[in-house]
Amino acid sequence: MATLVKIVFNPMDEVIEVERGTILLDAIRQAGINIRSICGGEGECGTCKVLLNKGEVSDVSTKYTKWLSPQEISEGYRLACQTRVLSDCELTIPVESRIARPKILISTEMTIDRLDPASKKYLLTLSPARSDEHRLIRLRGYQGPSPKVSDDIYDTLLLMREPVTAILSETNTPPEIIDVELGDRTSSNYGLAIDVGTTTIVALLIDLTSGKILGKASALNNQITYGETLISRIGFSRKVENGLQKLKQAVVQTINDLVSRLVSSAGIENEEITSVSAGGNTVMNHLLAGVDVDYLWYVDANDKVPRSPVIKKAEEMGLQINPEAYVYCLPNVSRFLGGDAIGDVVASGMYDSDETSLLVDMGTNGEIIFGNKDWLVSCSVASGPAFEGAGVRFGMRAMRGAIEHVKIDPDSFEAGYTVIGNKRARGICGSGVIDAAAEMFRVGVLDFRGKIVEGRTSLVRKGRDGLEYVIAPAGKTAIGRDVVITQRDMDYLMDSKAAALGGILVLMRKFDLSIYDVKNFYLAGAFGAYTDLRNATKLGIFPEFPNAKICPIGNGSLSGAYATLLSVKKRDHANAIAKNMLYVDLLSDVMFSETYSESIYIPGPKELFPSYNRAHIQVKKTCHNGYA
Ligand code: FES
């Protein structure tokens, strides 16, 4: 018989019993504690640190030494994913390992010209039966093609007395009566627009008769403890028994929790929600629908990704709304360019304009799309997690305690900064890392190769990962240690920056575009909303676009879901955009290795940074004249 051991988790005071020998990360997940685990438990990220206060655990694994200093190991720090529990234990989950609620972007600025949702309600009349024929169904005010009616609904109808309300879905062709209700219920019809993010899920409850947003709710995606990146989630589904099922249940559970919050605050019933539109990346769309993601593990999967939208009934998906409601997932294009990016395009309107635009959604994976009403070309880049604050020694998501903006005094070299929630700093998020790098470059603490410069200030010192620059001294932080930017962090960031700029440059060269052609620069997602664009351009993440209007579009995935919930026409547009968009696979493109190499310097190729180069030449001339 298995021996059970008891684990106490502090400071949350959670207690759980597990079998002796259980991996600590699994025990933490079972206890329902959200702990960071970027790599999904492979021992490759160092984010799942815990502190052993009492009890016996397995020996220190070799993977520890990469992520924990000898001092941390002697203090009792362990990696939860590499540790087995051997006796009753007491552990602390340190503040830097906990997942707090990140800053969540809810953009609802999108407006719909004509309200035409895929789900509508009509009063129904049945004309009397003639001999052996079915009675004729008429929907008052409806002028479209004859709707499909299932035998079950028809039989139910025969037992009902008018007035009867029919719920008509135009999600498929021909339209279909998906449910009937007794009485006139035409004025209460509701839908959900959902952004199914890898980290967070945001849902809007919409009145489908008016287009009004009745409520917003958001939560961390419950999948987060199975790995924070898409690759770690695919890995989890491949290697863990029933992994796909667990991931599906986790995302569905998160959405169902949001639904209960939304319906209870709006005072409606779950069954009154009759339509859903969801924007998620390719992996999230698959997991929500319970479709196997195994093939997405392989680099040649792009051509195998279906470009048509996934459409399923709510009951089949496990959503607790009207079981007959259709769930429409915005269509995917490739492995790493999914329905969320199509939502961005719909939200921006670039597909409908004569002007050439660039749309960028930069996260762990970056999506880059150029085009106008006649053509759209795209690529995705593994921009790495540095833009989201991950993979960086003191990196964290944009949540309370994260340094989000940095300014460095050029005389003292001391950093001034702002922290989310006005708390003491716990770490630094993506926008903070970009600001810090741009500022370090400006004051000469970082050179054009992205290398930290020694000797200019005592705030630069030798550390575990080479040189490091102290942003926040221990006395001012919440973790009792200095928050630093290390050379390894900068190498990560330079890699992400070169991938982003290199990807943009590949499309520009292939399609003969210059920086002067771009008239609108749409920035989607948290990166666009919170990052200082001037610093991102100074660093060379993006080129200068002298003729472009800069347009942050917020959560484009959510806006796209909102638009396609309320307009069948927008749904048709989204489907056509995904079908016709040209996708360039950078992994197999030789030009990308060239553009990447050209972009690994700050800011990057001369033709992309005319004003930087003009200023630089000016400085050189001034210096030259000064010495003459
Ligand atoms: S090292 Fe443990 S989850 Fe990554």
- Sign, CA dihedral 59-65-68-71, equals positive
Q: Is the CB of 41 under 6 A from ligand 1?
A: yes
What's residue 628's pLDDT?
30
Candidate from 24, 48, 97, 233 with most ligand 1 atoms within 8 A of CB, to mutate: 48
* Averaged pLDDT for residues 117-131: 83
Instruction: Report the Cα 596 to chain-centroid distance in Å.
Output: 24
Closest to 384 in 3D by CA, of 496, 533, 521? 496
* Averaged pLDDT for residues 565-592: 96
| 623, pLDDT greater than 70 | no
pTM for the complete prediction?
A: 0.86
Query: Which amino acid makes up residue 98?
Result: R
Give all strands of the β-sheet with 49-54 in edge-to-edge order: 14-19, 4-10, 89-92, 49-54, 77-79
Query: What tens digit of pLDDT does each residue of 238-294 get?
Result: 989 999 999 999 999 999 999 999 999 999 999 999 999 999 999 999 999 999 999
4-97: CATH architecture: Roll (3.10)
Domains of the chain: which residue ranges? 4-97, 119-182, 194-340, 344-384+494-612, 386-489
Q: How far is the CA of 253 from the centre of ligand 1 (A)?
A: 24
Q: Which of 198-202, 216-220, 283-287, 622-626 has the lowest mean pLDDT?
A: 622-626
Q: Is the CB of 79 under 6 A from ligand 1?
A: yes
Candidate from 44, 49, 231, 233 with most ligand 1 atoms within 8 A of CB, to mutate: 44
Q: How far is the CA of 142 from the centre of ligand 1 (A)?
A: 56
pLDDT band at 391 (very low <50, low <70, confident <90, very high): confident
Query: What tens digit of pLDDT does each residue of 509-531 get?
Result: 999 999 999 999 999 988 888 89
Burial, 430: exposed, middle or buried (Cβ in 10 Å; 0-12, 13-18, 19+)? Answer: buried
- Within 10 Å of residue 105's Cβ, how many Cβ atoms? 24
Q: Which of 91-95, 124-128, 485-489, 538-542 has the lowest mean pLDDT?
A: 124-128
Q: Is the CB of 215 under 6 A from ligand 1?
A: no
Ligand 1 atom nearest to 46, measured from its CA: 1
Between 310 and 530, residue with greater pLDDT: 310
Instruction: Report the Cα 107 to chain-centroid distance in Å.
Output: 14
What's residue 199's pLDDT?
85
Ligand 1 atom nearest to 79, measured from its CA: 2
Candidate from 37, 96, 232 with most ligand 1 atoms within 8 A of CB, to mutate: 37
- Within 10 Å of residue 291's Cβ, how many Cβ atoms? 17
For residue 50 the two structure tokens come to: 């815990």
* Averaged pLDDT for residues 589-613: 95
Q: Both ends of the chain: CA-CA distance in Å?
A: 88
Query: What tens digit of pLDDT does each residue of 317-374 get?
Result: 999 999 999 999 999 999 999 999 999 999 999 999 999 999 999 977 899 999 999 9
Query: What tens digit of pLDDT does each residue of 149-189 get?
Result: 998 998 898 888 889 999 999 999 999 999 999 999 999 99
Q: For domain 344-384+494-612, give the CATH number.
A: 3.30.420
Query: Which amino acid makes up residue 493?
Result: L
Q: How far is the CA of 25 from the centre of ligand 1 (A)?
A: 9
Q: Is the CB of 369 under 6 A from ligand 1?
A: no
- Within 10 Å of residue 312's Cβ, how many Cβ atoms? 19
Candidate from 29, 38, 63, 98 with most ligand 1 atoms within 8 A of CB, to mutate: 38
| 618, pLDDT greater than 70 | no
Angle between helices 556-566 and 339-348 (to 10 degrees): 80
The CA distance from 576 to 571, in Å, is: 9
What's residue 34's pLDDT?
82
**Contact between 238 and 297 (Cβ < 8 Å):** yes
What is the H or E stretch that residue 18 is in?
strand 14-19
Contacts of residue 273, defined as CB under 8 A and 6 or more positions apart, other chains included, come to: 190, 191, 192, 205, 259, 263, 321, 322, 325
User: What's the Cα-to-Cα distance from 295 to each of 69, 205, 229, 315, 381, rounded to whole Å?
Assistant: 38, 34, 17, 26, 19
Candidate from 28, 36, 81, 231 with most ligand 1 atoms within 8 A of CB, to mutate: 81
Ligand 1 atom nearest to 227, measured from its CA: 3
Instruction: Report the Cα 480 to chain-centroid distance in Å.
Output: 31
Query: Which amino acid makes up residue 202?
Result: V
The CA distance from 486 to 468, in Å, is: 4
What is the H or E stretch that residue 573 is in?
helix 568-580
Q: Which residues make beta-bridge pairs with 279? A: 195
Say which CATH topology domain 194-340 has. Nucleotidyltransferase; domain 5 (3.30.420)
* Averaged pLDDT for residues 554-559: 93
Q: Do the domains 344-384+494-612 and 4-97 match in fold?
A: no
Query: What tens digit of pLDDT does each residue of 414-429 get?
Result: 999 999 988 899 899 9
Q: In sequence order, what E strands does 222-298 have?
A: 273-280
What's residue 509's pLDDT?
97
Ligand 1 atom nearest to 41, measured from its CA: 3
Query: What tens digit of pLDDT does each residue of 403-460 get?
Result: 999 999 999 999 999 999 888 998 999 999 999 999 999 999 999 999 999 999 999 9
pLDDT band at 626 (very low <50, low <70, confident <90, very high): very low
* Averaged pLDDT for residues 569-579: 97
Q: Is the CB of 50 under 6 A from ligand 1?
A: no
What's residue 480's pLDDT?
86
Q: Is the CB of 81 under 6 A from ligand 1?
A: yes
The CA distance from 389 to 392, in Å, is: 6
Q: Percent of the chain scored above 90 by pLDDT?
A: 71
Q: Which residues make beta-bridge pairs with 586? A: none
Q: Is the CB of 559 under 6 A from ligand 1?
A: no
Burial per residue of 195-220, b for 16 or more beta-carbon CB atoms within 10 angstroms, e otherwise: bbbbbbbbbbbbbbeebeebbbbbbb
**Contact between 280 and 342 (Cβ < 8 Å):** no
The CA distance from 95 to 50, in Å, is: 10
